[in-house]
Chains A and B, each alone.
Chain A
Amino acid sequence: METIDVLRIIWFFLIGLLLVGYSILDGFDLGIGSLFPLLAKNQDDKRKLFKSIGPFWDGNEVWLLTGGGALFAAFPHAYATVFSGFYLAFMILLFALIFRAVSIEFWYHDEERRRFWEWAFVIGSFLPSVLFGVALGNVIIGIPLNENFDFVGNFFTLLRPYPLILGILGLLMILLQGISYSILKTDGELKERSYRIARKIWIIFIIIFIISFIATLIWMPENLTKLLAWFFVALSLLFWILYGISLNKKKDGFCFLFSSLLFVSLWGIVGSIHFPYLVRANNVPEYSLTIYNASSSLLTLKVMFIIALIGMPFVIGYTIYVYNVFKGRD
């Protein structure tokens, strides 16, 4: 294999890694946001929930920004196709993320408009939680492209059944991640409520997971033969079961751990059925973007790899350190 192909595969994996980091970390605060109306019954609950994610949410969001930057640098065509193709959907996502970004800080300072900022936080969390899955579903099942790799569908192309199913699956995964964080970080009545909600999400999750599984095999039967995908499906089921056991035994740390591992396994399934594609074209297969025809040059991939090798260990190191500083409940 040529060096450039090795680097292309590495970058497919590294961008996956950034998305995994984003999912696990921002997943929990998006989840808290989406569940906010169910979780918080009084002012004190709200304060606790905001405080639990306060020091972290912006650092978590950087995983998305860096993922975007890395996609731009490593696979510029994929970055260009996806973000221009899903333009309106993406704008709605951005508006949601803008409001969400300011809502937590503004809620604290702007007492007159607290209700408004709460809803900005809830909607700003809920919409992205669904839209990420919808976008992923579109990329996996394919969108109509032309020879310049530009999207030629319309807004409703994006709202086909398969992407919507993945949107709901993504939402449930994020909710599970959020509720597990709430269990870990709260106490008293709020924590008991979190246990009850977690149980419901845990059950609904597996139903949607099975529907997604069947839908994937119906629309893309070629995946039946992908062993790696089967491995990650098995792993997902294992972590789902372990989550249920941990929840019953009230092992809070394990709940969060298995929820995170479940999230990783889902990404494992996505990676193994999608590789080496970045964006499938469902009209003309040759227009599909793969890691081979959408990547940057050898030099750029090399430079970026060095940047990642130098930078990311530090990022992971100090992120873990600072999470430890804020460990526990208060």
Chain B
Amino acid sequence: MSATLLSRIQFGLAAGFHFLFPPTTFGLTLLILIFEILHLKKKEEIYLKISNFLIKILGIVFVLGVASGIVLEFAFGNNWSNYSRMVGDIFGAPLAAEGVFAFFLESVFLGVLIFGRNKVSKKFFLLSAFLVFFASHLSGFWIIVANSWMQTPMGFKIEGGRAVLTNFFEAVMNKSTLIRYIHTIIAGWITGSLLVAGISAYYLLKERGREYAKILLRTSLIIFIITSIIQLFTGHFHSVQVSKTQPEKMAAYEALWETQSFAPFSIFAIPDEKNEKNILYIGIPGLLSFLIDFNPEYEVKGLKDFPSDERPPVILPFYSYHIMIYLGIYFILLSLVGIFLFLKKKIYDTKWYLKILLYSIPLPYFANEFGWIAAEVGRQPWAVYKVLKTKDAISPSVSAPQVLFSLIMLSLIYLFLLIIFIYLIKKIVKKGIEGISYEGY
């Protein structure tokens, strides 16, 4: 295998593993903030214990986010040195800004959350919870800025073969930043809230700490219901943006080969990339055109209209994108049933539903990963869309065997950490909320 492919796999592994943790953090910090506010307002012990429980989980999620984040901070220099030289003038700034504005704040005040309950006033503790919430979301913003700039680069010019910044604000708020950010944050809230709802369902099923579990389930499920429905709309607008700014990516998402009006929205397909056609295709006629422009006659560009060396692969983006959408629909169905059970006041005792919640915990993670795969593989063959190809972005001084070595090591380490992570989360959950001790270490 070439150094380019190995480097891509390694970056995919590093970013994909990292991307398990920040979305969880978004959801958890939101819930912790809510319970800290409730605790300060209602002064009841129960909210305090719930918050302490969530902080313990956050602690573990956060260290894995940090551990896997270190790798990414340097990955561009390690494996993509030509990329760093070509676009560092623009790409480095959001990474540095993330550190200066967000990551310091998050880390320092997370220390207060984990260790400082008995050392600071209640108000200061609430402020810390807010700052951790705020900073983790701000941190996500700068990373999304960096990623969005690779998708829809703006605010620069090419000078002597290098991209040079001409307008910082344009580079930051490029055409995909805002919608991608909202879509990703909502995904994080879905992920974190379903994780917590699933854990509460577990307690209800095991009939442990029912009082705690009821409050926890109610709060997290309300967030899940709201966010999973909102996500339908953010997903829609994000897709519209993609079809306007990266039309070949949308064509790959939809396995659309021919340019056409009344373009169909695909339900299922088996694309055949070699022969530029679909072996099997089921779609709703006109729906894609309608969704993009509210006009079924709108002409959507097909893959054949793009030079073959500037087209993304089709199979991986197509399936990833569709699995993400189907998971999103599943979350909405889960929410609708949840609303029904809330209204019937049966939610805490409907065992089959609680079981489904519990076993659905991993699904948002799959939705996140597939959405991300669709976005990044759909950007190929470009590292920076229409500016720099991935194959030209690698480190010339790093050989394929070197990358193979680091890839194998990293895979083993991440597999090991993932197993320990799941084991520890289960262990904390099994200890229960009612018996939680707040002791720092």
Contact = CB atoms under 8 A, between A and B. Distances in A.
Chain A bound to chain B = yes
Interface of A: 47, 50-51, 54-56, 58-59, 61-62, 64-66, 68-74, 76-77, 79-85, 87-88, 90-91, 94-95, 97-99, 101-102, 104-106, 108-110, 113, 148-152, 296-297, 299-300, 303-304, 307-308, 311-312, 314-315, 318-319, 322, 325-326
Contact of A322 (B112, B164, B410): B112
A234 to B, nearest CB: 33
A325 B92 contact: no
A50 B99 contact: no
Contact of B88 (A62, A79, A91): A79
A310 to B, nearest CB: 8
Contacts of B168: 299-300, 303
Interface in B400-437: 402, 405-406, 409-410, 413, 417, 420, 423-424, 427-428
Nearest to B116: A325
B77 interface: yes
A152 B399 CA distance: 11
Given A83-B81, A84-B79, A297-B165, A62 B67 contact: no
Contacts of A54: 111, 114-115, 440-441
Given A150-B81, A151-B397, A319-B104, 4 more contacts: A72-B88, A94-B71, A101-B67, A311-B101
Contact of A58 (B76, B81, B110, B398): B110
A152 B73 CA distance: 24
B68 interface: yes
B336 interface: no
Contacts of B62: 58
Contacts of A80: 76-77, 81-82, 84-85, 88, 395
Contact of B398 (A47, A71, A87): A87
* Nearest 6 Cβ contacts at the A-B interface: A76-B88, A83-B77, A73-B92, A66-B99, A55-B111, A72-B92
In the complex, which range does the number of interface residues on chain B fall in?
35 or more
Contacts of A79: 76-77, 84, 88, 92
A102 B397 contact: no
Chain B interface mostly: helix
A60 B69 CA distance: 15
25 contacts: A54-B440, A58-B66, A59-B104, A59-B107, A59-B108, A62-B107, A66-B99, A66-B103, A68-B95, A70-B96, A73-B96, A74-B96, A76-B92, A79-B76, A80-B88, A83-B74, A84-B78, A91-B405, A109-B427, A150-B396, A297-B164, A300-B168, A307-B97, A325-B119, A325-B120
B98 A69 contact: yes
A81, A98, A319 — which one has the most chain B CB atoms within 10 A of its CB?
Answer: A98
B70 interface: yes
B91 interface: yes
Which of B85, B101, B112, B402 gathers most chain A CB within 10 Å?
A: B85
Given A58-B110, A76-B92, A85 B397 contact: yes
B105 interface: yes
Nearest to B111: A55
Given A72-B84, A84-B395, A91-B78, A47 B93 contact: no
Q: Looking at A79, A80, A308, A314, which has the most chain B CB atoms within 10 Å of its CB?
A: A80
Nearest to B113: A55
Contact of B119 (A66, A102, A299, A326): A326
Majority SS of interface residues in chain A?
helix
A307 B70 contact: no
B349 interface: no
A255 B264 CA distance: 73
Contacts of A312: 100
A303 B116 contact: no
Contacts of A64: 70
B90 interface: yes
A155 B104 CA distance: 34
A296 B73 CA distance: 18
Contacts of B96: 66, 69-70, 72-74, 304, 307
Nearest to A153: B397
Nearest to B79: A84
B226 interface: no
A102 B115 CA distance: 17
Given A61-B70, A72-B95, A84-B398, A318 B90 contact: no
Contacts of A70: 92, 96, 99
B222 to A, nearest CB: 29
B16 interface: no
Nearest to A83: B77
B313 interface: no
A84 B81 contact: yes
B425 to A, nearest CB: 9
A84 B420 CA distance: 31
Given A73-B95, A84-B395, A297-B165, A65 B60 contact: no
B89 A296 contact: yes
Nearest to A71: B92
Nearest to A50: B441
A311 B98 CA distance: 10
Contacts of B417: 98, 102
A280 B73 CA distance: 24
Contacts of A149: 85
A99 B112 CA distance: 23
A52 B60 CA distance: 18
Contacts of B92: 69-74, 76, 79, 296, 300
B296 interface: no
B70 A97 contact: yes
Contacts of B2: none
A76 B69 contact: no
A300 B165 contact: yes
B440 A110 contact: no
Contacts of B166: 299
B385 interface: no
